[in-house]
Amino acid sequence: MTAQNLTSSYRRVLLKLSGESLGEHGISGNLSKNITLGIKDLVDQGIEVGIVVGGGNIFRGHEGAALGISKIAADQMGMLATCINAIALQQSLEQLGIEAHVMSAINCQPIAEAYNPKEAIRHLERKGVVIFAGGTGNPYFTTDTAAALRACEIEADILLKATKVNGIYSKDPLTNPDAVRYEKISYADVLAQKLEVMDATAIALCMSNKIPILVFNMAVGTKFSDVLINKQLGTVVY
């Protein structure tokens, strides 16, 4: 598939990044640069890019219990962590000459715009990258669900889910050498088999809005367009 065909096939994508993709603890300059080079690769081909980033490299909600922090407060701390990561990505993209906007579901002005789906689409149409921070803005919802929700709201053609493995397996391939990798799998089968690639709410949202999910390994390199051209590098949920 040529770059022209790639652009025509995917006008707009939503990229879901884990916080750990930016660093195991905190933010790694090298990892952040590699990610933004991958984003630039998509932008250079005329693809509109929205991003949802997690905050697990800074704080994970389940860590709050050990500190005596309530579930709601811990989730709120996790939302703030996503804002930190979003600003780091914004700065890294701007260093590459790419216009980038941080839009937050929680009030973080003046460091982030308040999330507004219509304004987000306007930014995308003007070829600006939009980084969605703050999760859904509510506790008890994961950033996977936030990614699915934003993908629906901006009418993305596909949701790209970056992981540590090259697709979806029948069981955890890191601990089960006999795990089978799927090239394609239906939303219904992901839910029925309780495959933990994304939470059930995120899968159901994409299913009801017919947004395919492409699960791929971040280690594929700095060209995210490679997984769009060659989907065998990951697993398609449809």
Q: 2 CB contacts (<8 Å, ≥6 apart)?
A: none
- Predicted TM-score of the model (pTM): 0.94
Q: What is the pLDDT of residue 190?
A: 97
Q: Domain count for the chain, please give it.
A: 1
Query: For every one of its 238 residues, what pLDDT tens digit does the chain have, with 9 covering 90 and above?
Result: 444 455 558 999 999 999 999 999 999 999 999 999 999 999 999 999 999 999 999 998 778 888 999 999 999 999 999 999 999 999 999 999 999 999 999 999 999 999 999 999 999 999 999 999 999 999 999 999 999 999 999 999 999 999 988 999 999 888 999 999 999 999 999 999 999 899 999 999 999 999 999 999 987 566 898 899 888 889 999 9
CB atoms within 10 A of CB 189: 13
Residue 237 forms beta bridges with which residues? 185, 213
Helix (H, G, I), strand (E, B) or coil at 156: coil
Helix (H, G, I), strand (E, B) or coil at 30: helix
Q: What is the pLDDT of residue 5?
A: 53
Alpha helices in 45-142 (DSSP H): 71-95, 117-125
CATH number of the domain enclosing 202? 3.40.1160.10
The range of the structural domain enclosing residue 112 comes to 3-237
Q: What is the pLDDT of residue 220?
A: 59
How many helices (H) does the chain have, and how many strands (E)? Answer: 8, 11
Angstrom distance (rounded) from CA 118 to CA 67:
39
Q: Is the dihedral of CA 183, 163, 44, 155 positive or negative?
A: positive
